[in-house]
Amino acid sequence: MPRYFLEVAYKGANYSGFQIQDNASSIQQEVEKALAVFYRQAFELTGSSRTDGGVHALQNFFHFDYEGIINSRQLYNINAILPADIVIKNIYPVAADAHCRFDATSREYRYYIYREKNPFLEDRAFFYPYTLEEGALQKAAAVLLEHRDYTSFAKRNTQVKTFQCTVFESSWSRTEEGLVYRVRANRFLRGMVRGLVGTMLQVGRGKLSVEDFVAILEKRDNRHADFSTPGHGLFLYQVYFPVSVLSGSTGE
């Protein structure tokens, strides 16, 4: 049966997360509902990267099987069914064994912080008006390239077989409004980016040293990390695949 990848973007403010859940609204639920309405049959989607409640995505993926031809011209109609805060950006025909989670080589997240009150940013960045030492933030971010075990930055009850992650990029940079933290890794644990950002902000404020940050990493105990940063500052920015996986795009 033909398999398709579905590229989506969304604002997560109104949803409890990406993956379908009992008694809670999710991105997956809304997309499955829209596809069912348009194609008049039920769809079961598999997601690429789970995002928590309130977290946004500029790019995420589902895959599904469908005995029929789907092309990009149908996107307008499906998007008209979806809520305004979710959009399907593209549909890709892929190999029958392609998997949007396991075939992804890395994911990139970005966390946005603004320093002065701005009502146009309040739902998509974290208002953090404190003085920060950017050099210390950069040193803390660079430390992650040297570590693999992120037990300290996984929320409790994270059900995974391993806490090992390979971080390829980790850095802070300035924006017109404030700062953005960029991190790319092969995989992320539940709450990992928010925990990293929250703890690094304590380094930036001088409440922790870079050495303290390293010690938290090495303790492998999440009681020492700061997970208080809100979800609305976090964006899943991009999911990376080998070129061969998406080479069958129907986009025109």
232 — phi, psi (to 5°)?
Answer: -70, -10
Q: Tell me the HSE value of 94 on the side-chain side, using a 13 A CA sphere.
A: 24
DSSP 102-126: TT--EEEEEEEEESS--TTTTTTSE
Helix axes 134-143, 192-204, angle to 10 degrees: 140
Active-site annotation holder among 52, 85, 149, 212 = 52
Residue 205, burial from CB neighbour count under 10 angstroms (0-12, 13-18, 19+): middle
Residue 131, burial from CB neighbour count under 10 angstroms (0-12, 13-18, 19+): exposed
Query: Is 226 a known active-site residue?
Result: no
Distance CA 128, CA 45 (A): 37
Catalytic (active-site) positions: 52
